[in-house]
């Protein structure tokens, strides 16, 4: 197999290391669509990057971290700091408390003034959100009346449906939890044993509804698995978080 | 089918009281693959989550410490990672890669996020890779041996890289910096950084592939 040119390898290496700017990430997604043979090189480079942490020096965690981590994980406690750091925090609180009392009085006055302004701003934001939600709903209804269901995606965090629209476009409509501004949902297509390939990224509105059009040349083949993960904007080279919803395209 | 075989194993654990495992059940859990443990975690078996901590807790903590450079933040990242595993193990999909890759990827991103949110990047301390601390005995010797072999291979491969290539890779992977940010940090032209990342990672790939043959 001929090695990809250096400029392409520059992009792929930086891609798996998470060192690309958003526009460059999109460039890599396009390259992978146009030249599927690059997937092999990408898979090798990704496997290499994923081994880097094994070279790190071992640092023994505090003895009580296991108990704290597990109790926090199963919901029996809030995140607990180690005994030493808790003591330090208490001292900091004592030092800050006295200075804080004076500051609080000033803040209360300021907050009252700011709240009046905030209320107006909030009302306009809500109106904008409602208008956006209505526009999305109207588009969804228009599409759903004529579209054909190609796959249903489900999971503990939400659900989605992939539709084949009359104009030939493929649409994903999803209902997922709203995200922070620096996060996006990423749709992955998985064919057989191949590594997941990004098919699209999208966001949801304040009500959790979002949709994305999958371009014709990125349309997943019949039988492909589709999955959605929550990723840092503008998307990731490979999935970095658990699958939220997953489903399989109809085989026809 | 993946799920079926795991369910068979889980059934044996269930018979022996999974939430308060007997000695036999503990031995069974110790022998399980990571992917099977995640299935048990999804079924709310705390002992399986504990086993994942025993296998990866130190590595996860080491990665978090390397990225955040702060012990307290690293501890918080570890707690955050295990909470995420507990809450989302059911959505782990083996088709997306090995369970270890999934765990370490969550750790890296959580640690980078924590570092960014606390604006501590400038204070990130370097932990030289040659500061090796003896590793404690693990119950599963083969697993530990396998990990040590991998660790030695990756360290050997990294040692062969010119220091500037290694530095660029570490700033990208652990620092969460883009190529332009690396160039700014090092005061080097962007093209030079691109070349260092490319040559460095390709050489690592070739060396690790050679080790594996």
- Give, to the nearest 10 degrees, the angle between helix B71-88 and helix B46-68: 140
Distance CA A131, CA B131 (A): 58
Q: For testing the chain B interface, which of A58, A90, A196 should be mutated: the one with the most B CBs within 10 Å?
A: A58
Q: What is the pLDDT averaged over residues B96-108?
A: 86
Nearest CA-CA partner of B134 in B58, B71, B53: B58
Contacts A4 to B, Cβ<8 Å: none
Q: State the pLDDT at residue B177.
A: 92
Q: Does residue B123 carry a pLDDT above 60?
A: no
Q: Does residue A106 carry a pLDDT above 70?
A: no
Q: For testing the chain A interface, which of B40, B42, B48, B62 should be mutated: the one with the most A CBs within 10 Å?
A: B62
Distance CA B92, CA B3 (A): 12
Q: Does residue A82 carry a pLDDT above 50?
A: yes
Q: Range with the lowest mean pLDDT among A64-68, A83-87, B73-77?
A: A83-87
Q: State the pLDDT at residue A220.
A: 79
Contacts A13 to B, Cβ<8 Å: 197-198, 200-202
Distance from CA of B15 to the nearest CA of A (A): 22
Q: Range with the lowest mean pLDDT among A178-192, B16-30, B71-85?
A: B16-30
Q: State the pLDDT at residue A92.
A: 52
Distance from CA of B31 to the nearest CA of A (A): 20
Confidence of residue B201 (pLDDT cuts 50, 70, 90): very high
Omega within 30 of 0 (cis) for the link into A234: yes
Average pLDDT, rounded, for chain A: 78
Distance CA B202, CA B192 (A): 15
Confidence of residue B192 (pLDDT cuts 50, 70, 90): very high
Q: Range with the lowest mean pLDDT among A46-55, B68-77, B120-129, B191-200?
A: B120-129
Confidence of residue A144 (pLDDT cuts 50, 70, 90): low
Strands laid side by side in the A148-155 sheet: A197-202, A183-190, A225-232, A243-248, A148-155, A158-164, A170-175, A209-214
Q: What is the pLDDT averaged over residues A174-192?
A: 86
Nearest to B154 among A54, A60, A74 (CB): A54
Share of chain B above pLDDT 90, in %: 45
Q: Range with the lowest mean pLDDT among A234-238, B41-45, B117-121?
A: B117-121
Q: Does residue A128 carry a pLDDT above 60?
A: yes
Distance CA B160, CA B5 (A): 42
Higher pLDDT, A131 or A145: A131
Nearest CA-CA partner of A55 in B150, B33, B125: B150
The shares of helix, strand and coil residues in chain B, as percent rounded to the nearest 5, are: 75, 0, 25
Q: What is the pLDDT averaged over residues B33-58?
A: 92
Q: State the pLDDT at residue B205.
A: 95
Distance from CA of A183 to the nearest CA of B (A): 11
Q: For testing the chain B interface, which of A15, A20, A64, A73 should be mutated: the one with the most B CBs within 10 Å?
A: A73
Q: Does residue A48 carry a pLDDT above 80?
A: yes
Higher pLDDT, B24 or B28: B28
User: What pTM value is reported for the model?
Assistant: 0.57
Q: State the pLDDT at residue B116.
A: 76
Contacts A227 to B, Cβ<8 Å: 93, 96
Please tell me which residue of chain A has the smallest CA distance to B82: A73
């Amino acid at each position: 197999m001929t090695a990809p040119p250096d400029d392409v390898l520059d992009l792929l290496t930086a891609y798996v290391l998470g060192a690309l700017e958003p526009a460059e990430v999109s460039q890599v997604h396009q390259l992978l669509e146009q030249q599927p043979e690059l997937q092999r090189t990408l898979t090798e480079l990704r496997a290499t990057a994923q081994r880097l942490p094994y070279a790190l020096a071992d640092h023994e965690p505090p003895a009580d971290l296991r108990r704290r981590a597990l109790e926090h994980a199963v919901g029996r406690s809030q995140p607990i700091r180690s005994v030493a750091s808790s003591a330090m925090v208490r001292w900091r609180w004592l030092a800050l408390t006295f200075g804080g009392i004076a500051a609080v009085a000033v803040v209360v006055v300021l907050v009252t003034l700011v709240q009046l302004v905030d209320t107006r701003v909030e009302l306009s934001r809500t109106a904008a959100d409602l208008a956006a939600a209505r526009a999305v709903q109207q588009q969804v209804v228009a599409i759903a009346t004529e579209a054909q269901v190609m796959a249903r995606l489900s999971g503990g965090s939400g659900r989605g449906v992939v539709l084949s629209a009359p104009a030939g476009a493929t649409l994903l409509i999803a209902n997922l939890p709203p995200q922070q501004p620096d996060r996006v949902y990423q749709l992955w297509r998985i064919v057989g044993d191949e590594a997941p390939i990004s098919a699209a990224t999208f966001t949801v509105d304040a009500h959790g509804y979002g949709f994305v059009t999958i371009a014709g040349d990125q349309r997943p083949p019949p039988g492909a698995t589709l999955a959605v993960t929550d990723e840092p904007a503008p998307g990731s080279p490979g999935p970095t978080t658990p699958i939220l919803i997953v489903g399989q395209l109809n085989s026809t | 089918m993946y799920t079926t075989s795991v369910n068979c194993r889980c059934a044996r654990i269930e018979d022996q009281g999974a939430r308060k495992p007997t000695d036999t059940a503990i031995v069974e859990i110790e022998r399980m693959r990571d992917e099977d443990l995640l299935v048990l975690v999804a079924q709310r078996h705390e002992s399986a989550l504990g086993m994942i901590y025993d296998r990866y807790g130190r590595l996860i903590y080491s990665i978090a410490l390397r990225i955040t450079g702060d012990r307290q933040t690293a501890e918080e990242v570890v707690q955050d990672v295990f909470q995420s595993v507990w809450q989302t193990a059911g959505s782990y999909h083996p088709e997306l890669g090995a369970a270890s890759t999934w765990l370490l990827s969550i750790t890296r991103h959580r640690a980078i996020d924590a570092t960014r949110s606390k604006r501590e990047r400038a204070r990130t301390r370097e932990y030289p890779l040659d500061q090796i601390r003896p590793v404690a005995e693990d119950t599963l010797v083969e697993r530990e041996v396998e990990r040590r072999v991998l660790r030695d291979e990756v360290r050997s491969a990294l040692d062969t890289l010119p220091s500037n290539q290694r530095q660029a890779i570490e700033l990208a992977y652990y620092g969460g910096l883009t190529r332009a940010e690396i160039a700014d940090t090092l005061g080097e032209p962007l093209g030079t950084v691109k070349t260092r990342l490319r040559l460095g990672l390709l050489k690592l790939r070739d060396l690790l592939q050679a080790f594996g043959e």
